[in-house]
Amino acid sequence: MKTIIDFIRDTLSLAGKDLQVISKDRGGLLVLFLLPLLGSTITGSIYAPLLKEKADIQFPVYLVNQDEGRYGSQVEDILRQVDYLEMEEKDAPEEAKAEVANSNAVAAILIPPDFSQKIDAYEQTNVVVIIDPVQIQYGRIVTGIVNEVVSPVAVQGEVQHGINAILEDSGLMDKADAAQQQAIKAQSFGAVMTQVQEYQNNPLIKTVATTNEGVEYTMPPSFFTIFIPSFTVMFAFFIVPGISSELLQEKRQGSMRRLLAAPVARGSIIAGKMLAYLVIVFLQVLVIFGIGNLAFGMPLGESYLGLLLVTIAMGLSATGLGMMVAALSKTDRQANSIGMVLGFLLAGLGGCFPMGLIPLYESGGVIEIISRLTPHSHALMAFRDLMMKNASAVDVLPQVGILLVFALVFFAVAVSRFKYE
């Protein structure tokens, strides 16, 4: 009886033999490695300017800060950190208004001289935004930005006033001198603002943009994050025609018969071929994702373990599908044709041809159900979650499990239907 060690040794030996055969097929390797890179590069380059255009949008504005207090400085500092504002400072309101009147800027932001003083006195004050009527839509956007900027400053004023009122009404300040009163107020203000900051970072109510089907909308950091994984998954399954037609060619040419005559278990023959093509899929993902990261800045997420698990599960699913096609086909030409048709059909249904930011497997309705019946959709879903949402290996275990189920089903059909002679 052959031992497990003999089985492993035979499997590795047969896998090495198949890898040597595969390495001689330069045309096939170009298809598996070069085409997904070319396709994703060309497509990503077409769409990349759209994201860049969004990132490069800047509204020219003029700022006049006449306030010498801390609140005016805070508003100015925050405004300067807003990427969408191309801000230039003016000394007098009249200068800024004249520039806006000549349409040299979308708006002018005016901070009055008594801005901080009125906030400390808990009196209403205004930050004035002068809008160019010719660019009124953009001016409204700038006004919205300014409202967001002054909101935390207004909160500080509210908190400061509330603390002062409570301390004065409580009588705790009656016996304290000026320095002690100042220290107590500062300590109380710091404690409250720390809690406020925590609420701002982790708000109780969060606004989430979703589609009609309830799918959360996430703008990708790069369109290469969409196209490179899509083309990689599609071409990973392009090993199906290769593995199925090669298996049947070996059977037709008598290689399979010679292997069966040798002291080699039948399971080693199948396992060795699957291992060889699994190595190809692993190298395919490694090379394409590596180039995508280094050349195009495509993020790989925070879990390399997750990427490894998804790659292995996807490779097993693809090789299992190739074995099943070989078992169900009568000739190597038929296997090659069926494999190619399945490659394009399943890739399309699985969402590997991106038609927008929402993939087919999240599009809702019957299309989503059909899409999720393909291994492509689950591989793509896992890769996107890892790269775009920084998912962990645990987060993608459901997709890994589904891919392994596909692999087991394909393999079971292949073993039950394949005729070695």
- The structure's pTM equals 0.61
pLDDT tens track, the chain, 421 positions: 457 777 777 778 878 877 887 777 777 677 677 777 676 666 655 555 544 544 456 788 999 999 988 888 888 888 888 877 888 899 899 999 988 888 888 899 999 999 888 887 778 888 889 988 888 777 888 888 888 788 777 776 666 666 666 666 666 666 666 676 666 656 665 565 565 555 555 554 454 444 444 555 455 556 677 788 888 898 889 888 888 888 788 777 766 667 666 666 666 777 788 888 889 899 989 988 888 888 777 888 899 999 999 999 999 999 999 989 988 888 888 888 998 899 889 998 998 887 656 778 887 788 889 999 999 999 999 999 999 888 999 999 999 999 999 999 998 888 788 776 6
Enumerate the β-bridge partners of residue 87: 61
Cβ-proximal residues to 212 (8 Å cutoff; 6+ apart), any chain? 364
Count of CB atoms situated within 10 Å of the CB of 34: 13
Print the SS3 string covering 166-196: HHHHHCCCCCCCHHHHHHHHHHHHHHHHHHH
* Token pair 């199925």 in the structure block, residue: 244
Q: What is the pLDDT of residue 400?
A: 96
The single-letter DSSP state of residue 337 is: H
Distances (CA, A) of 185 to 155, 159, 177: 16, 11, 12
Print the SS3 string covering 245-295: HHHHHHHHHCHHHHHHHCCCCHHHHHHHHHHHHHHHHHHHHHHHHHHHHHH
Q: Are strands 59-65 and 85-89 parallel, antiparallel or unpaired?
A: parallel
Q: What is the pLDDT of residue 309?
A: 96
Q: What is the pLDDT of residue 109?
A: 92
* Token pair 């004035």 in the structure block, residue: 128
Q: What is the pLDDT of residue 153?
A: 72
Q: What is the pLDDT of residue 388?
A: 86
Enumerate the β-bridge partners of residue 111: 65
The domain limits of the chain are 4-52+218-417, 57-201
In the chain, the largest separation of any two C-alpha atoms, in whole Å, equals: 104
Assign domain 57-201 to its CATH architecture: 3-Layer(aba) Sandwich (3.40)
Q: What is the pLDDT of residue 194?
A: 60
Q: What is the pLDDT of residue 380?
A: 93
Residue 110's SS3 state is strand
Both tokens of 90, joined, read 């003016």
